[in-house]
Structure 1
Amino acid sequence: MSTPDHQNDDSKSPPIAAATTTSIILEPFQWLRMLSSQLSPTFILGVFLVYGLGQGFSGSFFRVVSDYYWKDVQKVQPSVVQLYVALYFIPWVMKPIWGIFTDTFPVRGYRRRPYFVIAGLIGLVSGLVVALRANLPVLIALSCFIALSASMAIADVTIDACIARNSIELPSLAPDLQTLCGFCSSTGALIGFSTSGFFVRHLGPQGSLVLMAIPPAFLIVLGFVIFEHKVSASRYEKKRAVENVGMTIKSMYKTILYPQVWKPSLYMFLSLALNISTHEGHFYWYTDPKAGPAFSQEFVGMIYAIGAVGSILGVLIYHKALKDFPFRKLLFYAQLLYAISGMLDLLFVLRWNLIVGIPDYFFVVIEETATRISSKIRWMPMIVLSTQLCPLGIEGTFFALLMCIDSIGALLSKSGGAMVLHLFHVTRSDFTNLWLAVLLRNMLRFSTLALIFLVPKADQSERLLPSELSGKKMVGDVVDEENLELVPVTRNEKTQDRL
C-alpha cells in the first residue's frame, strides 16, 4: 500500500512546485494591484515616470556620460569635477522653495500639473543645448547640467508631496511606497547604467547627452494627462495663497523645533555629510591604463549596472525582511554594514585583490554589489522616517525641507570629497594617495555610528509626531479637495480599517 501512496505524492509535487513558481512570479503584480486599489493609479504612474524614468534612468545615464564628458571633452581634473558634481545639488537644496510653490501657488487653476510641465521644459531645453552645441564653454555646460538637475528636483518635489500625503493617511503603506520608489529608481538605474557605456563608445560623451532630453519630454506629457481638480483663481484665493506661505513657514519652524523631528533630521544630515565622496577619483582611476585597471566604457557602465542590481536586491531585502524592524536598530546595523563594505574599495585601490589572486573584473563586481546593497538598506528606512515626520497640511513642503537638509548633506559630501582629493593630490594621472582618501572616507563612515542615539526607537509604521501636529492640519483648510487626487474617494472596508 505504501508504493501507491508514494507514487500519488510524486504525481502531486510538480503541480505544487509549478503553482509556487507562478505565485512568486505573480506576487509583484499582485502587490502593484493592491497599491493601485488603495491609491490613485495616476499617482502610481507619476512614481514610475519620476522615479523610474527620471531619477532612475536619467540620473544613472547622466552620471556616466557626464563623467566622460568632463574627462574627455572638457579635460577637467577629478577634484574639479567632484566640485562640479556638488553644484548639481543646488536645485535639490532649493526643494522647500519648489514645495512652497507647488503647495500654495496654482498655475491656471492647477497645483501639480503645471510644475511637471515646467520641469519637463527646463530639462528638455538644457539637454538639447549641451548635446547639440559643439565647443560649449565650461560655464554654459555646467549651467545646463545644473538645469537638468533642477528639472529632476522640481518633478521630484511634486511627486514627493503625493508620497508624503499618502504615507500620512495610510501609515501602514509607507514602507511599501518607499519600496515602490526604490524599485522604480533602481530598475531605471540598471537600464541607464547598462546602456551608457554603449552610447558613449558609439556616439561620444556629448552625442550621448541627447538622450537626456527624453525623460523631460515624458514629464511634459505627465503634466497634461495626470488627473487633478481645477481650483478657483480669484483674487481672494491668490491673497490667501500668499498668506498661506507665511503660515507654512511658521508651521515648518514650529515643527522642526520638536525633538522628535530635529534629532532624526540631524542624524540623516550628518550621516550624509560625513560620507565624503571620492567617486571622481575612482572613475579616473578605473579608466587609467597605467595605475588603474583600464576598464572600457562599456565595462564602466556595466559596473554601475551591477550596482543597480545590488540596489534592487537591497530594496527587496528591505521589503521582505527589514521593514518591521525599529528605526534605531535597523539604521545602526545598516550603517555598520555600509562602513564595512567601504573597506572593499580600499582593498581594490591598493590592488590587494591581485595579491590573493582575484581578478579586477571579478573583484569590482563583489565590491559594487556589496556597497549598493548596504547603501540601499541604509537609505530606505531614512526615507520612511522622513515621511513619518511630516505634519498633515504642509506635508509636501515639509518633506521638501527634509530632503533639502539631506541635499545639503550630500552637497557637503561631494565638496568635502573634492577637497580631500585636492589635498591628497589625486589628479588625472597621479593616484598615489587615492587610498588615503578612501581610508579617511571609511573612518568617517564608522564614526557615524556614534550618532545613532539621535534616531527614535519606534517601529517604522508608528506615528512619530506629537498629537498636536499629526492629528490636524497645520495651515488651515488649504488643499483637501483641491489637491491632486491621491487616494480614491470610495475606499474599501480594509482601507477604512487602516485609517
Structure 2
Amino acid sequence: MQVLNKVTVAVKGMVQTIKYPVVWKPSLYMFLSLALSISTHEGQFYWYTNKEPPNPGFSQEFVGMVHAVGAVASMVGVLIYHKNLKDYPFRSILFFAQLLHGASGLLDLTFVLRWNLALGVPDAVFVTLEECVSRVVGRVRLMPMMVLSTKLCPPGAEGTFFALLMCIDSLGMLVAKTGGAFVLRALHVTRTDFSNLWLAVLLRNLLRLSALGAIFLVPTADQTDVLLPQDLLSSGSPAAAAGDEEERLLQLGKLTSHTDDDV
C-alpha cells in the first residue's frame, strides 16, 4: 500500500511538472522531431540485397559491415558535438541539425534513383559514405536533445522525470517506425517491388523537414543556462515535495504507533 501511495504521488508530481510550458513545449518538439522521422529502413534493406538489376545486390555481410562503419561514424558525431557545437543555443543547434537531417536523406534518394552511377560513384562507396553522413548528422541531432532533456528535470526527481522524457522519445521512435511501415504498405513497396521506394524516401525527407515548423517550441537559451522556473528550483519539484510530505506522514504514523504501544 505504501509503495502504491508513493507511485501515485510521484505520478501526480510529474503531471504537475510537465504542465509548465518551459517543460512541455520542448518535450513536444522532441516527440514530433522523432515521430516525423519515419523509417523506410525495411524497404531499403530488401532493395539493397535484391540481386535483380538495377538493384545493388549487396550481400547481407556487406550491409552489416556498412552498419559497423556507421557505428564508428556515430562516435565521430559525438566528438564533433562535444568539440564544436555544445556552446550554441538550443534552438539554433536543433534547427540546423534537423535541416541537415532532412538534407542528408537526399543521399538515400540519390542512391535509390541510381543517380550515383551517373555521377560515376560505385554503389559500395556511395552507400558507405551515405551511412557515415547520416550517422554523424543523426548523432549531432540527438545529442542536444539529450542535454535539453536533462535541463528539464526538476531537482529531487531527476531520475524519474528523465525516465519519463525518455519514454516520450521512445514513443516518438515507435510512431516513426509504425508510420514508415504504413507508408511502405500504402505505396505497395514489398520485398520484390521497389518501384515506389523512391517516393517513400522522398516523403520521409519532407516529413523530416516539416518538423522545423515546430522549432519555436524549443527555448532560445544556451545549453548551459537554467531552464526551469524559479519556483520549481527553490521548492523542489512537485514530485519531490509530495514525496517528502508522504515520508513525513509515514514517519509520524510510526512514531505515534510506537508511543501508543509504550503507553
Task: Give the 5 Å matches for 1:196-211.
Answer: none
Q: Over residues 45-86 of structure 1, what are the superposed CA-to-partner deviations in whole Å (9 max), with x where a residue is unaligned? A: xxxxxxxxxxxxxxxxxxxxxxxxxxxxxxxxxxxxxxxxxx
Task: Give the 5 Å matches for 1:206-285.
Answer: 239=2, 241-285=3-47
Once residues 473 and 453 of structure 1 are traced to their aligned partners in structure 2, the CA distance between those partners, rounded to angstroms, is 27
Once residues 471 and 445 of structure 1 are traced to their aligned partners in structure 2, the CA distance between those partners, rounded to angstroms, is 38
TM-score for the superposition, normalised by structure 1: 0.47
Higher relative contact order (CA 8 A, sep 6+): 2
The alignment status of 1:412 with 2:168, answered yes or no, reads no
Once residues 84 and 202 of structure 2 are traced to their aligned partners in structure 1, the CA distance between those partners, rounded to angstroms, is 31
Q: Over residues 166-206 of structure 1, what are the superposed CA-to-partner deviations in whole Å (9 max), with x where a residue is unaligned? A: xxxxxxxxxxxxxxxxxxxxxxxxxxxxxxxxxxxxxxxxx
Q: Report the Cα offset of residue 477 of structure 1.
A: 8.7
In the other structure, the counterpart of 2:166 is 403
Native 8 Å contact 1:269 1:406 kept in 2? yes
| Aligned length, in residue pairs | 241
The alignment status of 1:350 with 2:110, answered yes or no, reads no
Identical amino acids, percent of aligned pairs: 62
In the other structure, the counterpart of 1:424 is 187
Q: Report the Cα offset of residue 404 of structure 1.
A: 1.2
Task: Give the 5 Å matches for 1:157-196.
Answer: none
In the other structure, the counterpart of 2:88 is 325
In the other structure, the counterpart of 1:149 is none
Equivalent position amino acid for 1:437 in 2: A
TM-score for the superposition, normalised by structure 2: 0.88
Once residues 335 and 477 of structure 1 are traced to their aligned partners in structure 2, the CA distance between those partners, rounded to angstroms, is 38
Q: Over residues 381-414 of structure 1, what are the superposed CA-to-partner deviations in whole Å (9 max), with x where a residue is unaligned? A: 0011001101122222211111111111111100
Q: Report the Cα offset of residue 449 of structure 1.
A: 1.2
In the other structure, the counterpart of 2:257 is none
Task: Give the 5 Å matches for 1:88-127.
Answer: none
Task: Give the 5 Å matches for 1:295-334.
Answer: 295-334=58-97
Native 8 Å contact 1:424 1:437 kept in 2? yes
Q: Which residue of the other structure, out of 236, 246, 257, is the alignment partner of 1:473? A: 236
Q: Over residues 130-151 of structure 1, what are the superposed CA-to-partner deviations in whole Å (9 max), with x where a residue is unaligned? A: xxxxxxxxxxxxxxxxxxxxxx
Q: Report the Cα offset of residue 432 of structure 1.
A: 0.7
Once residues 435 and 244 of structure 1 are traced to their aligned partners in structure 2, the CA distance between those partners, rounded to angstroms, is 51
Once residues 378 and 416 of structure 1 are traced to their aligned partners in structure 2, the CA distance between those partners, rounded to angstroms, is 20
In the other structure, the counterpart of 1:365 is 128
Tell me: CA distance 1:425–1:477, structure 2 relative to 1, closer, same or farther (3 Å): closer
Native 8 Å contact 2:9 2:243 kept in 1? no
Q: Report the Cα offset of residue 470 of structure 1.
A: 2.4
In the other structure, the counterpart of 1:33 is none
Q: Secondary structure at the match of 1:290?
A: coil
Which structure 2 segments of 5+ residues have no match?
245-263
Q: Report the Cα offset of residue 467 of structure 1.
A: 1.5
RMSD: 1.5
Task: Give the 5 Å matches for 1:62-77.
Answer: none
Once residues 310 and 354 of structure 1 are traced to their aligned partners in structure 2, the CA distance between those partners, rounded to angstroms, is 24
Once residues 277 and 286 of structure 1 are traced to their aligned partners in structure 2, the CA distance between those partners, rounded to angstroms, is 15
Once residues 66 and 28 of structure 2 are traced to their aligned partners in structure 1, the CA distance between those partners, rounded to angstroms, is 33
Task: Give the 5 Å matches for 1:127-142.
Answer: none
